[in-house]
Every structure is written in structure tokens, then in C-alpha cells.
């Protein structure tokens, strides 16, 4: 799927640029995208290292296991193939909490940590496991209680009702997350290949 | 209300870090050593993600700068407007899954033009806050663990984005109109 999407985007883009005569813009944009990628990763490495350090501490202190146990009832529904009490459930719960609090920069490193542990359960296969699909879909549809970035933007635009959008955001994000989980469940069930 | 939310957001990280360190000390963990061992992984994960991100951001920038996105926009705009989607919001719905900074820029632009408390301003804010950048999350998360076959994840993520898009319009019309 990613192969297809990627190639389609590049090839369609090229053809349209030829028709529109926007080759110069296209060349600049391509080179700038490389620079942007490095900047994004550079910006990610700092908070990521920091959170991975904190996560290691939380693990050694037994906190991750406690979180994993708290999360057990919901985990049974979302991730039926992950053994109960597995530490990855703690990592997943840390990621969900960071998302809920609107701490985007912290949610990504914690999510990657969880992906690593899911990959161990997946025996380092190149194909995403059921649990990874579920985890990814929940993350792409976002779980926000407090949309911090948007609130900051509204404050700087001198809004009189900064928080008016919290309720509507909560409603929309619940709808998208529930839809994501359901679609994922259905697709997992009807997929012909049975992955681990 | 804003103050309480700000206070929680601002103190969540420091409070959590201090709490974890205290708990680790109580459990006799060598806090400094363990922290640095964990932090070491961050650099290698960053390097693993970089090639995937370069590939994805290149494709997205080709798609945008060539005008292909505008073309797609032209195709979907008329039918979407017919079912009651405000036309100012349609570009945001298309860019939201592709680029986080791109869509944030659009929201900032909409807020500047129409005002943060206008209907469109609130709708754009709701939309930006209610879903994530699907392609970025999939690229980074799968890239970090070298997954090549992502199965149906992107499809499910995009369906969730579409549901979020319409849910945002529905609830904003109900609450703010």
C-alpha cells in the first residue's frame, strides 16, 4: 500500500508539474523536503532521547508494569493477542496518556518505544502485526483531551472564546477514533492472510 | 478554565519526571545510569526514521508544489460544497492527513482571515485538533521498527480522518450555528 501511494504521489505530481509548467518550483520543493526531513528528525531526537531515558527509569521502578495492569481490561478488547501483564501495555498506556494531555512531542517517542516492544512480540517480521495496526490507527486518529497547539494558536490570535472548541474537538476525535478502531477490527477479521 | 487547563499542561511533564525519579530512587535504581542508557536509544531511532521521512516528505512536497493537490481539490470541491461543507474548509481536510505543519499553517491563515471566534475559525480549530497527521505517524512509527508491509493501516487511518472531518462539521454546525 505504501509503495503504491508513494509512487502515485510522485508520478502524478511530476505529470501535473509538466502540464502546469512548474518544474522550477518542483525542483526547489524536492530539495527543500530533504532539508525539512533532517530538521524534523533533529527536533525529534532530543525529546525522544529524553523520554526514552525517563521510560527506562519508569520501567526499572516498576511503574510501567503497574500501568500495564491498570490498562488490562481495555487492552483485552483492543489488543487481544498481546499477553496480559506484558510491559508493552505500559508503554502503550504512556503513549495514550501523552496524547490525551496534548503533549504531541512526548507522545511520538513513547509511541515508538511501544512499537519496538510490539516488534519484539512480532518476532522482528517485516509485516505489521494486528496489535501494531490497531495501535497505529488509534494514534493517527488522535486521542486529544486538550488540543494544546490549537489553544496556543487561538490565544495568540486574541480569541475571546479560546476553549470553546474543546468540546467540539472532543466529539470529533471520539468519532474518528471509534471509526478507526471499528474499521481496523473489521479489516483484521476479513483479511485473507492471517498474520501473527 | 483556560488557566486550569494551562496549569495542567504546563506542570504535567515536570511533575511526572520528578515522580518517576522519586519512585526509582525508592526502588534503589541507579537513576543516572539507567536514564542515560535509555536516552542512548533515541539517536539510533532518529537515524532509522530519517530515510522513511525523507521519502514521505519528498512525495508530499512533489504532490503539493506541482499543483496536483489543487487539482484534486478542484475535483472534490463541488460535490463537497453541494452536501453543505463550507468551501474555505475543504483544503484543510485534504492537507490534514498529509502534513501537520502544512495544515497548521492553513488553520493560522483561516483564523487570521475570518477571526478565531468566527464559525469557520472554530471549525478549522476543531478539525486541526481532532485528528493526527496520518502519513507522518505511519511513516515514523513503522519506519522506526522497519516494517515494510503496513497492511490496511493507512486505509483505516484515512477512513478515520474522513469520519473526523464530517464529525467536526456536524458538531460545529450544531453548537456554533
Residues A96 and A158 in one domain: yes
Residues A41 and A73 in one domain: no
Q: Is residue A6 part of a domain?
A: yes
Residue A188 · residue A133 · CB < 8 Å:
yes
Residues A126 and A70 in one domain: yes
Convert B70-92 into a string of H (helix), E (strand) and C (coil): HHHHHHHHHHHHHCCCCHHHHHH
- Name the A residues in 112-151 with CB < 8 Å from any B CB: 112, 115-116, 118-119, 126-128, 132-133, 135-137, 139-142, 144, 146-151
- Name the A residues in 70-99 with CB < 8 Å from any B CB: none
Q: What residues pair up with B149 in beta bridges, in sequence order?
A: A127
- Take residue A74 and report the three cell numbers written for it: 481495555
Of B66, B108, B129, the CB nearest to A26: B66
Q: At residue A193, does pLDDT exceed 60?
A: no
Residues A89 and A41 in one domain: no
User: Measured between beta carbons, which residues in chain A are less than 8 angstroms from residue B29?
Assistant: 57, 60-61
Residues A30 and A66 in one domain: no
Q: What are phi and psi of A83, to 5 degrees?
A: -60, 140
Task: Write down the pLDDT at residue B1.
Answer: 64
Q: What is the pLDDT of residues B39-97, one digit of tens each?
A: 988 888 888 889 988 998 899 999 999 999 999 999 999 999 998 899 899 999 999 99
Kindly list the distances between the CA atom of residue A124 and the CA atoms of A86, A90, B152, in Å, as whole numbers in the listed order: 17, 20, 19
Q: Is residue A54 part of a domain?
A: no
Domain hosting residue A69, numbered range: 62-190
Task: Write down the pLDDT at residue A71.
Answer: 84
Over pLDDT 70: what percentage of chain A? 97
- Name the A residues in 157-196 with CB < 8 Å from any B CB: 157-169, 171-173, 175-177, 179-180, 183-184, 187-188, 191, 195
| CA torsion through residues A36, A40, A41, A46, sign | positive
Q: At residue A161, does pLDDT exceed 80?
A: yes
Task: Write down the pLDDT at residue A196.
Answer: 44
| CA torsion through residues A138, A69, A99, B54, sign | negative
Residues A132 and A186 in one domain: yes
Residues A68 and A147 in one domain: yes
Q: Is residue A34 part of a domain?
A: yes
- Take residue A30 and report the three cell numbers written for it: 524536492
Q: Is residue A196 part of a domain?
A: no
ipTM for the predicted complex: 0.87
Q: How many domains does chain A have?
A: 2
Q: What is the pLDDT of residues B141-168, one digit of tens each?
A: 999 999 989 999 999 999 999 999 999 9
Q: Is residue A108 part of a domain?
A: yes
Nearest CA to B138 out of B60, B42, B43 is that of B60
Q: Is residue A170 part of a domain?
A: yes
User: Measured between beta carbons, which residues in chain B are less than 8 angstroms from residue A188?
Assistant: 152
Q: Is residue A195 part of a domain?
A: no
- Beta carbon pairs, A and B, within 8 Å: 362
Amino acid at each position: 500500500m505504501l509503495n503504491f501511494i508513494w509512487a502515485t504521489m510522485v508520478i502524478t505530481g511530476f505529470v501535473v508539474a509538466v502540464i502546469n509548467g512548474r518544474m522550477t518550483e518542483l525542483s526547489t520543493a524536492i530539495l527543500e523536503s530533504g532539508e525539512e526531513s533532517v530538521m524534523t528528525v533533529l527536533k525529534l531526537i532530543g525529546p525522544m532521547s529524553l523520554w526514552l531515558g525517563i521510560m527506562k527509569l519508569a520501567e526499572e521502578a516498576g511503574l510501567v508494569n503497574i500501568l500495564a495492569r491498570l490498562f488490562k481490561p481495555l487492552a483485552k478488547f483492543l489488543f487481544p493477542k498481546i499477553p496480559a501483564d506484558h510491559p508493552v501495555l505500559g508503554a502503550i498506556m504512556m503513549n495514550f496518556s501523552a496524547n490525551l494531555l496534548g503533549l504531541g512531542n512526548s507522545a511520538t517517542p513513547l509511541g515508538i518505544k511501544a512499537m519496538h516492544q510490539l516488534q519484539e512480540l512480532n518476532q522482528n517480521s517485516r509485516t505489521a502485526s494486528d496489535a501494531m495496526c490497531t495501535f497505529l490507527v488509534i494514534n493517527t486518529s488522535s486521542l486529544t483531551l486538550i488540543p494544546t497547539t490549537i489553544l496556543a494558536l487561538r490565544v495568540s490570535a486574541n480569541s475571546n472564546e479560546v476553549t470553546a472548541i474543546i468540546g467540539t474537538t472532543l466529539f470529533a476525535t471520539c468519532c474518528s477514533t471509534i471509526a478507526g478502531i471499528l474499521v481496523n477490527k473489521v479489516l483484521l477479521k476479513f483479511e485473507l492472510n492471517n498474520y501473527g | 478554565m483556560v488557566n486550569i487547563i494551562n496549569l495542567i499542561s504546563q506542570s504535567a511533564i515536570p511533575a511526572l519526571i520528578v515522580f518517576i525519579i522519586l519512585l526509582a530512587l525508592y526502588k534503589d535504581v541507579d537513576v543516572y545510569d539507567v536514564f542515560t542508557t535509555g536516552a542512548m536509544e533515541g539517536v539510533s531511532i532518529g537515524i532509522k526514521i530519517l530515510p522513511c521521512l525523507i521519502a514521505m516528505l519528498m512525495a508530499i512536497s512533489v504532490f503539493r508544489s506541482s499543483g496536483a493537490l489543487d487539482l484534486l481539490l478542484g475535483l472534490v470541491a463541488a460535490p463537497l460544497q453541494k452536501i453543505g461543507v463550507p468551501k474555505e474548509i475543504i483544503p484543510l481536510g485534504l492537507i490534514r492527513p498529509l502534513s501537520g505543519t502544512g495544515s497548521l499553517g492553513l488553520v493560522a491563515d483561516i483564523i487570521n482571515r475570518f477571526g478565531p471566534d468566527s464559525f469557520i475559525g472554530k471549525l478549522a480549530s476543531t478539525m486541526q485538533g481532532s485528528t493526527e497527521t496520518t502519513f507522518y505517524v505511519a511513516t515514523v512509527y513503522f519506519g522506526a521498527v522497519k516494517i515494510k508491509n503496513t497492511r490496511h493501516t493507512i486505509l483505516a487511518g484515512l477512513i478515520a480522518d474522513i469520519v473526523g472531518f464530517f464529525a467536526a462539521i456536524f458538531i460545529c454546525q450544531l453548537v456554533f450555528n
